[in-house]
């Protein structure tokens, strides 16, 4: 019954969009539902900058869910330089209550297929930021997306104004090009940032920031680096901070990094790092592409949670043999799954895990996440039976109890083993 209500509400919302776009009048009245059901509806709506005016008009139809609609619609705001940013500014001036709903602000480079040509000048980035100074009282995340022209960022006034975003705690980069000094200036501009997420960062040999501003050292607690060029520059820079002792969590895609980069990083931060997630394999729809063969974890002396994402048993067994942390409580493996033979190779891990359990008394949980590439069929019955038999052997050998969670929606099969 609940599912039917949500589907009906979603269809009514789509119809209201059509009414608004065709007639340019107020949308049709939407059904009245409990707020928690409207939250489900809005969780599945991807909001673009062009849709925000229409979405707000829809949310204004029924007062019973107006606040909830606003909170979800404007939780993430995506703006591009130029007209898109000014349109949002005008909307906020008209409806000031929208500003208090914004938690994430994503500033994007212009659409290459749109009216605004690339590249954009540095002052344009600054002007976009200035539009929203002291506007969002609940803003927690600032994102920069699609900016490969470093000249867009080399603007000293920009760093000064970023310091006014005192509520921002997370800075995310998606598809940008930075030099290390420019990235440093950007991160340090936010006075209260504690989390850095980087996805697809291109290295820039030329440093356009000729006169770096005088800024404090970042106080990051969490970093997440995915598809990063020149990690041999970025990681030593992080490990050299006076505030490196604050770093508690690191999520690193290290499958194509040169040997020794992860180890050198752990030498600097391993005594305070609590959570470490290492991706040692690169996979895609086309299958397995590359794999890091070895990583030494003896320097990570304080980790309590370790995740290894790989396909080669040698990568795992080599890493397990180097674990020295006496605080390790949770160990997780994520495997790409391609065939039954692929699963059988993991049986060689069993003796290693039994030995590890004896060596590290603090270890309470081992979890296996077997994930298929997107677009492929999920586990069939023979595959599932083979996996169960393999892990039953481990249960008998190690004394672990096995918890199984089978979630089709995310194409994963979890096997969680916990000591009693």
DSSP string, 260-316: THHHHHHHHHTTT--EEEEE-EEEETTEEEEE------TT-TT-SEEEEE-S-HHHH
Band (pLDDT 50/70/90 cuts) for residue 195 is very high
- Coil vs helix vs strand at 254: coil
Average pLDDT on 293-317 reads 77
pLDDT confidence of residue 146: 76
Stretch 379-385: mean pLDDT: 61
Asked if pLDDT for residue 29 goes beyond 60, the answer is no
**383-412 per-position pLDDT tens digit:** 667 666 766 776 676 666 655 544 333 333
Q: Which of 216-225, 248-257, 347-356, 366-375 has the lowest mean pLDDT?
A: 366-375
What tokens were used for 119? 């590249």
Q: Is the pLDDT of residue 39 over 50?
A: yes
Residue 97 vs residues 15, 31, 63, 164, 355: alpha-carbon distances, Å: 26, 23, 14, 20, 58
Question: For residue 417, what pLDDT is reported?
Answer: 37
Query: pLDDT by residue (tens digit) across 41-83?
Result: 555 554 444 455 455 545 544 444 456 555 666 777 777 766 6
| pLDDT for the residue numbered 311 | 62
Question: What is the three-class DSSP state of 174?
Answer: strand
- Banded model confidence at residue 206, pLDDT cuts 50, 70, 90: low
pLDDT for the residue 312: 61
85-95 tens-digit pLDDT = 777 787 778 77
pLDDT of residue 141: 92
Q: According to the per-residue pLDDT averaged within each range, which of 103-112, 400-409, 410-419 is highest?
A: 103-112
What does the mean pLDDT of the chain come to? Answer: 69
pTM of the model: 0.74
Average of per-residue pLDDT across 254-263: 79
Burial 383-410 (b: 16+ CB within 10 A, else e): bbeebeebbeebeeebebeeeeeeeeee
- What does the pLDDT read at residue 401? 60
Rounded to whole angstroms, the Cα distance separating 193 from 275 reads: 19
Position 274 pLDDT exceeds 90: yes
C-alpha to C-alpha distance for 404 and 347, rounded to whole angstroms: 18
**What does the alpha-carbon distance between residue 76 and residue 73 come to, in Å, rounded to a whole number?**
7
Average of per-residue pLDDT across 148-160: 65
Residue 213 burial (C-beta neighbours within 10 Å; 0-12, 13-18, 19+): middle
> What are the structural domain ranges in the chain?
246-420
Range 246-420: architecture per CATH: 2-Layer Sandwich (3.30)
Residues 6+ apart with CB under 8 A from 350: 393, 394, 397, 398
Query: In the 8-state DSSP scheme, what is residue 217?
Result: P
Does residue 416 register a pLDDT over 50? no
Residue 264: pLDDT band by 50, 70, 90 thresholds? Answer: confident
Distance in angstroms (rounded) separating the CA atoms of residues 135 and 90: 12
Q: What's residue 168's pLDDT?
A: 92
């Amino acid at each position: 019954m609940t599912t039917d209500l949500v589907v009906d509400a979603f269809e009514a919302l789509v119809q209201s969009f059509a009414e608004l776009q065709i007639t340019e009048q107020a949308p049709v009245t939407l059904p009245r539902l409990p707020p928690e059901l409207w939250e489900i509806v809005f969780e599945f709506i991807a909001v673009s900058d062009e849709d925000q005016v229409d979405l707000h008009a829809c949310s204004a139809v029924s007062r019973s869910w107006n606040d909830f609609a606003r909170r979800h619609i404007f939780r993430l705001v995506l703006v591009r330089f130029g007209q898109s940013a000014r349109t949002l500014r005008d909307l906020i001036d008209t409806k000031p209550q929208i500003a208090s709903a914004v938690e994430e602000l994503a500033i994007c480079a212009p659409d290459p297929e749109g009216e605004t040509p690339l590249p954009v000048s540095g002052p344009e980035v600054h002007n976009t930021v200035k539009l929203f100074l002291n506007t969002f009282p609940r803003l927690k995340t600032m994102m920069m997306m699609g900016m490969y022209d470093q000249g867009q960022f080399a603007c000293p006034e920009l760093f000064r104004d970023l310091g006014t975003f005192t509520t921002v705690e997370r800075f995310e980069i998606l598809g940008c090009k930075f030099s290390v000094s420019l990235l440093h200036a950007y991160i340090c501009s936010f006075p209260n940032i504690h989390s850095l997420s980087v996805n697809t960062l291109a290295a820039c040999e030329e440093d356009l920031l000729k006169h770096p501003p005088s800024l404090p050292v970042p106080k990051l607690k969490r970093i997440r680096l995915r598809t990063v060029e020149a990690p041999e520059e970025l990681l030593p820079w992080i490990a050299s901070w006076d505030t490196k002792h604050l770093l508690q969590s690191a999520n690193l895609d290290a499958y194509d990094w040169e040997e020794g980069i992860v180890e050198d990083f752990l030498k600097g931060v391993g005594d305070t790092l609590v959570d470490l997630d290492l991706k040692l394999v690169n996979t895609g729809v086309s299958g397995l592409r590359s794999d890091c063969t070895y990583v030494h974890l003896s320097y990570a002396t304080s980790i309590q949670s370790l995740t290894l994402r790989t396909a080669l048993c040698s990568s795992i067994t080599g890493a397990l043999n180097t674990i020295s942390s006496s605080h390790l409580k949770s160990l997780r493996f994520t495997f790409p799954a391609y065939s039954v033979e692929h699963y059988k190779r993991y049986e060689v891990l069993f003796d290693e895990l039994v030995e590890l359990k004896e060596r590290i008394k603090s270890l309470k949980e081992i979890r296996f996440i077997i994930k298929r590439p997107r677009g492929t069929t999920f586990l069939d019955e023979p595959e599932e039976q083979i996996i169960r038999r393999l892990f039953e052997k481990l249960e008998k050998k190690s004394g672990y109890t096995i918890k199984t969670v089978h979630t089709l929606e995310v194409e994963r099969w979890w096997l969680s083993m916990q000591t009693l």
